[in-house]
Every structure is written in structure tokens, then in C-alpha cells.
Structure 1
């Protein structure tokens, strides 16, 4: 099975897609439905995850709403958590290399997302930040054996406590 994602907006000079929160919701909805259809088919499930990973890598996240960031991180969290389980069939050394690469991607995503989240002005900013951090913590729990330093994560927790 292949995930068909519809892109209604153009691509900028840096190759990034500019999409709205509603379009991000549609991507998430399609992705979630495809995951459910392929749950027990590891190869198909992994293909869907990598399709979404590539879509997220090319999605421009500047000046987005809290809703967009939550949908983006929801798709991110599900794609990388399923991918983590899908690579269990690889040889141990190969699996660690793939998972370390996934973790590097996750860190890049979250550094960008958290920077944008600081600029979102909503009444529920604290709740949005907490939800984003919970998605990150969930991924960290899966990748902690290959994870690097996560100092920006603890910095965000200090902000929420202050």
C-alpha cells in the first residue's frame, strides 16, 4: 500500500511545501487510516511511515498555529514510533544505525517545532507546549538507547514550571 498525500499548495525556493492546518489535518487523517489498514503488514506499514516522514521533512512550519504544530507532531510521533517497531527485523547493528538516524531526524524536527511553538500566541500556549513535549517524551522513551543529549527538552520543562 502507498500513502497518497494531496498537496494543494506550491513549493518554495527551498523545496518546502506550504500547507495550512486543515491540510495538515487531512495528511494526519489519511496517514492514520493507512496505518490502521496496514498494521500487521510490516513492509507496507513501514512504507507509509517513510512516506509521511518525507512529507514532514519537506513541510514548511514557519508561523503556524498551535493546531498545526499539534497535528504535525502527532503525525511525526506516530510515524517514528511505528518505524521504530518496523525496523526490529533488521540485524542488531543495522537496526541501531537506522534508529540513530531516525532520532537525528526527530531532534531536528523538534528543535524547529519548539522554536515555532514559542511564537504561537494562544490562550492555551502552555497546554500546546505540554502536548508537544509529551509527544517528544514518548519518542524519547522509544529511542533513548540511541538518543543524543536532549537539553532543549529540559529547558522547555523549566519554562513550563516557571
Structure 2
């Protein structure tokens, strides 16, 4: 109550000097208003108070799981093309010209002779498409761990009355 009266007196003195009252009048009015505000507040707070020194709190805690996932590299796949050489034999029909001379006039003839020569050229031809991709596979794993939990344990010595308000203890 003393706090309310002193606080009201200080505020009353300041307000009294602002509105041209004497400082003493302001202090007295402030003290009266402070005591009334204490009485009004005291009537509103009629619930029973407990002595703060007699009441103590004990915080109980427990561990909870927090799951985090991290992507780690488990391997690597290298894909490349490889050239494999192999022998291949192909049978090709080739033509050539032969000179046939039959007895006859003694004139000289010139006849060019020709033959087919085999020329080999190589060029790549697509034989297959290879598709390369990754896919996600979901699996379920079970993780086992031990969690700790604090509980309150009451030890009684002598004759003490204990009332349980919370059955979770």
C-alpha cells in the first residue's frame, strides 16, 4: 500500500505543478488517489495468495526425437563407350576383262582391259539407343534409440502430509 501512496503522491505533485496547484495540494491529492487505487486493486485480487518462498518448482524434462536426413554419396557409376575390334569377311563378286585372241588378220588392235577393284569405306551406323537415368526408390527404415525422461520422486522422512494434485508424477 505504501508504494501506491508514494507513487500517487509523486504523480500528484507533478500534475499539481503543471495545472498551477501548490505542490503540497498535488502531493496530498496524489496520495489519496494512490490509496484508493490500492483498495480497488486489492478488492479485485481476492484469490488466496501462496507464499512464494514456500512454493518451489521442479522442471521435468524428457528427450524427444528429431529426425534429419542427409544425402551422402554411396557410390559412383561411370558410363563410357568402348571400341571393340573384330574381323569380318565379306564375299564380293568382282568382274574383270580378259583378252581373247583368235587367229585372223595381222592387224594390230589395241583393246583396253578393265577389272573391278574393291574399295572399302567405313561409316558409323546407329545400332542401338542406350537410355541412362536415375530413379528414386523409397524404403522404410526403423531407427531405434533410447530416450531419457525425468520423473519426480518423492522421498518422505518422518510424519509428513502429502497431497497429490497431479497424478502424472
TM-score of Structure 1 vs Structure 2, range by shorter chain: under 0.3
TM-score, normalised via structure 1 length = 0.19
Find the structure with the greater CA-based Rg.
2
Q: Select the structure with the greater relative contact order (CA < 8 A; seq sep ≥ 6).
A: 1
TM-score, normalised via structure 2 length = 0.18
